[in-house]
Amino acid sequence: MYEALLPYPHIDPVLLRLGPIAIRWYAISYIVGILVGWWLLARALRNPSLWRKPPFNGKPPATADDIGDLVVWATLGIIIGGRLGWDLFYGTILCSSSPGAGFCGGLPLAFLTNPIKLIAVWEGGMSFHGGVIGLAIAIWLFCRRRKLNLLYVSDLVTSVAPLGIALVRIANFVNGELWGRPTNVAWAMVFPRDPNQAPRHPSQLYECFLEGVVLLAILQFCFRVLRWHERPGLITATFFAGYGFFRFFLEFFRAPDAPFLGWFTMGMALCVPLVAAGVILYVIALSRPRAHGAT
């Protein structure tokens, strides 16, 4: 017999209603994360001490105007990649292996019979890993168009990316979604949308802390103290490997969307290539000769 010792704080997922328009905390989390990230990057670019050594030699990797324009590209990449990633990873692959899952609703066949479901974000469904892929493609296309160094810019962006992750996980908690596995820990909670009404790990808050707060602190330490951005690719590698490791670990506490391969969840499966990409980037970054004068 379980007993939840912490009450779930019932917060209205809608922050503000303006007639037929509902402004939700989930949308606000994306907007605030992007805007604050933009502000932090603009500040970093104006800090000459970060760019005085090779390979930058006093010239920041982008201008404030570049970052302002990149925000638009990045936003589109995150939204498009996040949705298409969900369509592929969850709506197609996971629903094919577990067609009885409640969120499937006839997927993936329904994508063919009702194609509007491919973009039906109002029904729920965004993939973080898909968003990362979309963001990576957006940064690559933007750097190619502006003739900017891809690794310089990706290190800059990923150094603040966990901020957005933390805010989105808080919004998941407010929405009472993506809850954890049943448990009898003292801080267990009963989430109102859980049909079983079992006390569960508040795994959204675990993810906010590890994938957001802790990873942001690690990346900022590597960026501002260890100055790993002077070895282009190291910050991006740390983001990929760090998020992949934390998310894989937290999947043991988070309730899976549906069975995938026994105890091995879809979230774990998607973290494997992310960590692998981080390791590859580490090898690439460390195999290149250090620029003369860098420390």
Yes or no: say if 290 and 231 are a contact pair by the CB < 8 Å rule.
yes
Q: Which two tokens stand for residue 295?
A: 């420390």
Q: Which two tokens stand for residue 292?
A: 């003369």
Per-residue confidence of the chain (295 residues) as pLDDT tens digits?
A: 455 578 999 889 888 888 778 888 988 999 999 999 999 999 999 999 999 999 999 999 999 999 999 999 999 999 999 999 999 999 999 999 999 888 898 999 999 999 999 988 777 788 999 999 999 999 999 999 999 999 999 999 999 999 999 999 999 999 999 999 999 999 999 999 999 999 999 999 999 999 999 999 999 999 999 999 999 999 999 999 999 999 999 999 999 999 999 999 999 999 999 999 999 999 999 998 776 544 4
Residues 241, 247, 252, 253, CA torsion sign: positive
d(CA 268, CA 191): 23
d(CA 181, CA 183): 6
User: Which of 215, 185, 211, 212 shows the shortest CA–CA distance to 198?
Assistant: 185
Task: Specify the pTM.
Answer: 0.93
Q: DSSP class of residue 180?
A: B
